[in-house]
Structure formats: C-alpha cells, structure tokens
Amino acid sequence: MNECSFIVRSNGSKRRSIINGKGKSNNKYNRILEAAVKVFAKKGFYQATISQIAKEAGVADGTIYLYFKNKDDILIQFFTYKTRQVFDLFRQEVDNAQNAAEKLRNLIRCHLAEFQRDRNMAIVYQAVTRQNDQLVRNEIREMTKLYLDIVAEIVEQGQAEGTIRKNLYLSLVKRFILGAVDEVINTWLRSGGKYDLVSMADPLIDLFIRGIGNPENSSNSQ
C-alpha cells in the first residue's frame, strides 16, 4: 500500500465531508477543481497528470487524494459541481423573466456569458461532450436533460401565450436550440475567443423566434 492509497482509505469520510461543502477545506477542493480544468483545457484530459494539477493548485500531489480518488474522479466531480452551479444560475435568470421570449433570451445570454467567463470550462466541456466520453456520459446526459427541460418549459409557455406556434415538434425545437447554442460556442472557441460571445445572444433569439422565412413572401410560394 503506497502513501496515497493510505490517505484515500484513511480519509474517505473526510473527502465526503469536504465534497458536501462542510468545513474550511472546501476552498481547497474548489481550487483543485479549477486548477484541474485549467490543466485539462491546456493539455487535454488524457495527457494531463495529477502532478500538473497539484502544481497548478499549489498543493502537494498527495493532497489531491484527500479530495479525489484519481484523475477520472476529478473530471466527474467537476461536471457534477458545474452542473449544480451553472443550472442554478440558468434557473434564476429564467425565473426573473415574465414571458417566454424574455425567458429564452435570459437563458441564452446566461449560457453564453458563463462559457465566456470561464473559457477553460468551455474548452473542456465542448471537448468531452463531442467525444461522448464514457467517463462522464451520465453527467452529460443529466446536464442535457436539465437544459432541454428548461427549454421545453419556455416553449410550452410561449405556446400558451400565443407567441410560439403550437404545431411544432417540441423535441426537435429543444435540440435545435441546444445545437445552435453549442455551435456558436464552438465557433467562438475556434476563433480563440476573439469577439464577445454574449453578442451572439440577440441574433440567436431572433433566429429562434422569427426563423429564416420571409412572411411577406410566403403567399407567393404557395
């Protein structure tokens, strides 16, 4: 049994306490998570090492194992942690609006703003989700479900208000919105973040609400 495995076994209850947010050590847990994401974004998840993460976080290698089982566990817990953090913000922004259009605008703006604020998170999230990585498949599935549920709620409210057509395939609309936002973020990342990502929110909303057809010419095409 090496020193690190001894730390993990003897401090299992301590790790659970830290992860649950109890005690002052929670700040170190968060710092390790943020350091890991920075390293994952720069090196790639499979090329990154525990030593690199520890150095970035300013802790000893063995300290990592007080909080995480291994590198895989760091990635899984990061997604769980970010899911809770980001979706709390999404829900708050959506609930602050009254009508469906404003709720959708707030959701998209918040989504783009969070990914712009934390570019490392955006890089890791986009890379892992596009690879459909087995490690975090359940976490990705849960994040996607939460997002699509919020979108469905907004669309259904818009249909009740009469601002969104009722003869729509809801499952298609949900994936259209998520896919469009996802591609806007990917394009921004490929550009090196050279422009304001949040500035894409209003054009996206306009596309979602108005579509690409010209109502004035619709009668001529029939």
Tens of pLDDT, residue by residue over 132-183, are 667 788 888 888 899 999 999 999 999 999 999 999 999 999 999 999 999 9
6-10, 109-113, 216-220: least confidently modelled range? 6-10
Average pLDDT over residues 86-98: 93
d(CA 141, CA 192): 27
The hierarchical CATH code for the domain 73-212 is 1.10.357.10
- Is the pLDDT confidence value at 19 over 50? no
Task: Please give the Cα distance from 127 to 182 (Å, whole number).
Answer: 11
Q: What is the pLDDT confidence band of residue 7, given thresholds at 50, 70 and 90? A: very low
Written as six digits, the tokens of 143 are 């994040």
pLDDT at 17: 44
pLDDT, position 218: 53
Question: What fold characterizes domain 3-69?
Answer: Arc Repressor Mutant, subunit A (1.10.10)
DSSP letters, 119-178, are: HHHHHHHHHHHHHT-GGGHHHHHHHHHHHHHHHHHHHHHHHHHTSS-SSS-HHHHHHHHH
**Domain residue limits, the chain:** 3-69, 73-212
Identical fold for domains 3-69 and 73-212, yes or no, is: no
- Give the separation between CA 57 and CA 80, rounded to whole angstroms: 20
